[in-house]
Structure 1
Amino acid sequence: MSESPDFAQRLDRVESRFAMHDLVSDYCHGFDKHDWDRFSAIWWPDAVWDIGPPFGKFEGSEGIAHVTKDILWPAWLASSHFTTNLVIAFDGDDRATGVCDVDCIGTTADEQAQTVSASYFDRFERRGGVWKIAHRKVKMYHFNPLPGVTLSAPE
């Protein structure tokens, strides 16, 4: 029995979805664990990361490295991102869009517990057989301190 083109395309879509899910997860793990190799591997060199207020828009590998290493990581003592509800839509064989929700809890450099709720709007592109993020727009719903709350590891 020969493989139909429809089956091959469906299999490619399944594999592609797994690859995009991994990108979304590697964003969280890379950022939270300050693992630059993992974090930087999710972006195309010409990617745009539009974090929005109060941070801004960062373009290309250098811009993303700058905001991550020089602004965000020093601002957060610890963070834990939790992404859910990833919905992917294909715009062809090598392009797709995705949207997911994210909640982040952490402690900023001033030792203030914070909570952030947002959505990530992604454009994924496959180049040379590899999926990566070409554009990520962040829409924040809240970014608030948790007064009187101290986040600490269990003793």
Structure 2
Amino acid sequence: MFLSIWWEDGEIVLPQPVGTVRGHAAIRALVVNELWPTWRWSMHVMSNSVTRLEETTPDHASVLSNVCCIGHDSHGRGQIMAGTYRDLFVQRGGTWKLAQRTVDMRWEGPVSAFAGT
């Protein structure tokens, strides 16, 4: 289901060392080989989204969202990550999908950092 929101030639731009990942096959490989093994479970909560339709290109929309990811890593430790998604949606044939997501993580660490333990 995750890939269904992306165009076949979509890309995700992650912080280094990963960088830019292009196309369904590469995005799927990233999720299956890197992300899923890293997390036992996770939830991404997006908020404060601002959507802007491009006046000069009406089939493009940019969306800026705050994101907080919480979950347990592969060792069962509670983890929190907070940052920003900078998304570009493109309409093709009447359908809107992600063409690009740039992920800017501002903070990540153990839940204990928030609990003061």
Mark yes or no: TM-score above 0.5: yes
Which structure is higher in RCO with an 8 Å CA cutoff and minimum separation 6?
Answer: 2
Shift of 1:148: 8.9
2:49 aligned partner: 86
The residue type equivalent to 2:15 in the other structure is: G
1:102 aligned partner: 67
**Candidates 4, 9, 13, aligned match of 1:50:** 13
Distance 2:49 2:23 in 1: 24
Higher strand share: 2
Deviations 1:109-131 (A, max 9, x none): 01111000010001100001100
Shift of 1:45: 0.5
**Candidates 18, 26, 29, aligned match of 1:66:** 29
Distance 1:76 1:54, change over 3 A: farther
Distance 1:114 1:142 in 2: 11
TM-score, normalization by structure 2? 0.89
Shift of 1:143: 1.2
- Structure 2 unaligned runs (5+)? none
Q: Give percent identity, aligned residues only.
A: 33
The residue type equivalent to 2:103 in the other structure is: V
Distance 1:69 1:57, change over 3 A: same
Provide the alpha-carbon RMSD of the alignment: 1.6
The residue type equivalent to 1:83 in the other structure is: M
1:127 aligned partner: 92
1:114 aligned partner: 79
Distance 1:97 1:119, change over 3 A: same
Structure of greater Rg: 1
- Secondary structure at 2:37's aligned position in 1? helix
Shift of 1:53: 3.1
Alignment: residue pair count: 112
2:106 aligned partner: 141
- Structure 1 unaligned runs (5+)? 1-37, 150-155
Higher helix share: 1
